[in-house]
Amino acid sequence: MAEQTASGYIQHHLQNLTFGHLPDGTWGFAHSAAEAKEMGFWAFHLDTLGWSVALGLIFVLIFRMAAKKATSGQPGALQNFVEVLIEFVDGSVKDSFHGRSAVIAPLALTIFVWVFLMNAVDLVPVDWIPQLAIMISGDHHIPFRAVSTTDPNATIGMALSVFALIIFYSIKVKGIGGFIGELTLHPFGSKNVLVQALLIPVNFLLEFVTLIAKPVSLALRLFGNMYAGELVFILIAVMFGSGLLWLSGLGVVLQWAWAVFHILIITLQAFIFMMLTIVYLSMAHEDNH
């Protein structure tokens, strides 16, 4: 029974608040993974959407506040923090981006801060936000996940947005002919027209896989690391409910140790997502003729 209860606890904490079309023809919330699956494609993870939008607004409001209060005299703590962050991102862009674009630096800053904020929610104890959702809704079976980056829908959505920019700038800088040529005439080439024509399918296969690997690597790297971190917190929480004093005490130690280590993870994953975006867009701006 304890094992089943622990299993149910884990499954509940790993399920999103899903809204969609129920089997009876009405629209509503799924109360189990099976119900969420039956909703099909047109199902919305309201917790992921809500938290990602809310944290994005918090980012915008904080930076807007810093910009309105900016002064050339004695800067405040908020202005110092924002300036350091902007200089850090700007330095990363200058070191890795070799083209000219007014979009890349603001995009990199947005990605880093937004992803970091979404990751940082994972430091909130795993039961607090779901319990708050239960208190507000009055439904003791309703699931709620607060860490948007543990939902592959969110990470894939961000990765596809970056991928769209990669395609856009590749065509803008190289032209449609240059972009197609990049996919079909490299890495193998020949001065013989017939041989080159025979190499086109091989080149396209290799380059297409390389192109598709960019959004896949962006999405799955962030999702995998954050999902694993969340799962560790949930497993530690299970230790508290074991009823064994020594196991609960061990859980306290592990929770603090993992939280400290997780601060590095959430920052590093935001930095990696930002840097890969900069590098991929830099490659899109390179015209190798």
pLDDT exceeds 70 at position 289: no
pLDDT exceeds 90 at position 18: yes
Q: Is the dihedral of CA 91, 97, 103, 108 positive or negative?
A: negative
What integer pLDDT is reported at residue 33 of this predicted model?
82
What integer pLDDT is reported at residue 243 of this predicted model?
67
What integer pLDDT is reported at residue 75 of this predicted model?
83
Helices (H), 122-192: 128-137, 152-184
Q: Is the dihedral of CA 161, 103, 210, 172 positive or negative?
A: positive
What integer pLDDT is reported at residue 24 of this predicted model?
81
Q: How far apart are CA 114 and CA 124, in angstroms?
A: 17
H/E stretch holding 19: strand 18-21
pLDDT exceeds 50 at position 264: yes
Q: Tens of pLDDT along 170-198?
A: 999 999 999 999 899 888 888 888 888 89
Q: How far apart are CA 15 and CA 130, in angstroms?
A: 11
Instruction: Write out the two tokens for 125.
Output: 């104890």
- Mean pLDDT to the nearest integer, 221-244: 88
- Mean pLDDT to the nearest integer, 16-32: 88
Q: Which of 3-12, 53-62, 102-111 has the lowest mean pLDDT?
A: 3-12
Percent of the chain with pLDDT over 90: 62
Q: Residue 40: which region, alpha, beta or left (left: phi > 0; alpha: psi -120 to 50)?
A: left
Q: How far apart are CA 226 and CA 76, in angstroms?
A: 33
What integer pLDDT is reported at residue 288 of this predicted model?
61
Enumerate the domain spans of the chain: 50-285
Question: Please, which pLDDT band fits residue 150 given cuts at 50, 70 and 90?
Answer: very high
What integer pLDDT is reported at residue 2 of this predicted model?
41
**21 φ, ψ to 5°?**
-90, 115
Q: How far apart are CA 22 and CA 15, in angstroms?
A: 17
More confident residue, 75 or 61: 61
Average pLDDT taken over every residue of the chain: 90
- Mean pLDDT to the nearest integer, 62-67: 93
Given strand 27-29, what is the order of strands in its sheet?
Answer: 27-29, 18-21, 44-45
Q: Tens of pLDDT along 249-263?
A: 787 888 889 999 999
pLDDT exceeds 70 at position 4: no
pLDDT exceeds 70 at position 231: yes
> Which sequence positions are flagged as catalytic?
217, 221, 225
Give 80's Cβ-side CA count (13 Å radius): 5
**146 φ, ψ to 5°?**
-100, -20
pLDDT exceeds 90 at position 248: no
What integer pLDDT is reported at residue 165 of this predicted model?
96
